[in-house]
Amino acid sequence: MDGDADGYLRFLVERDGEPDLGRRTLARREAFFADLAAEPLRATTPVERAAYLRNVNRRRPEDGLDARTLWLLATAQANQAERFGVGLAELYGLVTSEGDPVRLHVTLQEVYHTRILADVLALFDLPIRHRPPAIGMRAVAHFMVRTPERWHLPLVGAGEMAGCVMFRTLRDRGLELFARDTKIAGRIRRLFDEILGDELGHVGFIASQLGPRGRALMRGLYRLLAVPLAAQVPALVALLGRHELRRRFRADLRPDLMAAELPGLAYVAASP
């Protein structure tokens, strides 16, 4: 399947349905949310609502927060950088209905990721707050948007690889923390799997656009930058601890094996 970018586009059309940039929708993603709305859930596991609200707008969480609160804060922060990057790309006119169809699907997927994370927090009756990411991530986003694609594509790919690890980590920790509330755990898995499937597809598509040297650079940038990128989500650092953060984000990433665990949700066009 290496280099199968055409296959990835066919997969996107089948999985996402018709894209509508004006409404910022994908037809089959709307159906997904309609299914969720037909079965509303609210968590029974108690969480520290006041602590979450005190910290959701802070760059760094206060000391002494419990693991569930840190997980909720990390979930709220997880998509800030990508949401900021998508907004910049739209502002600079890089995404149009008449342009690259893969870019259009990917852009709209990122819009849905913010909505999905908001739905995770809504399970606990908590709001999501939209704010720009840390200054380092803002600088990276500007570099990606304002330079030719051949310059920044390996860096974008490395960031997407880090995103795969982040969302898998948040999914798995959420399942652990709320395991006793089986319906909520199932919903957490379903929501995070939607994002993870997309992120794996982004990694594979970017790899399919690069030659051997570009993929090697993408892997090298991932090894170099994954931990610093993850550290831009301070609640995740506090949740995992620095040793565990380094262990997870320095491990080899196999998108093809991860995609095999998400049938129908992920298509890896090429290995990075």
Q: Which portions of the chain are predicted below pLDDT 70?
A: 1-3, 94-95
pLDDT at 149: 77
In this prediction, residue 3 carries a pLDDT of 55
pLDDT given for residue 236 in this prediction: 96
* pTM, two decimal places: 0.93
Q: Which of 66, 196, 78, 223 is nearest to 137 (CA)?
A: 78
- Summarised one tens digit per residue, pLDDT across range 53-104 is 999 988 899 999 999 999 999 999 887 777 777 777 777 776 677 778 998 9
Whole-number pLDDT of residue 1: 40
Residue 84, pLDDT score: 79
Rounded to a whole number of angstroms, the CA Rg of the chain reads: 18
Report d(CA 79, CA 194) in Å as an integer: 14
Residue type for position 128: I
Strands 19-20 and 25-26: antiparallel
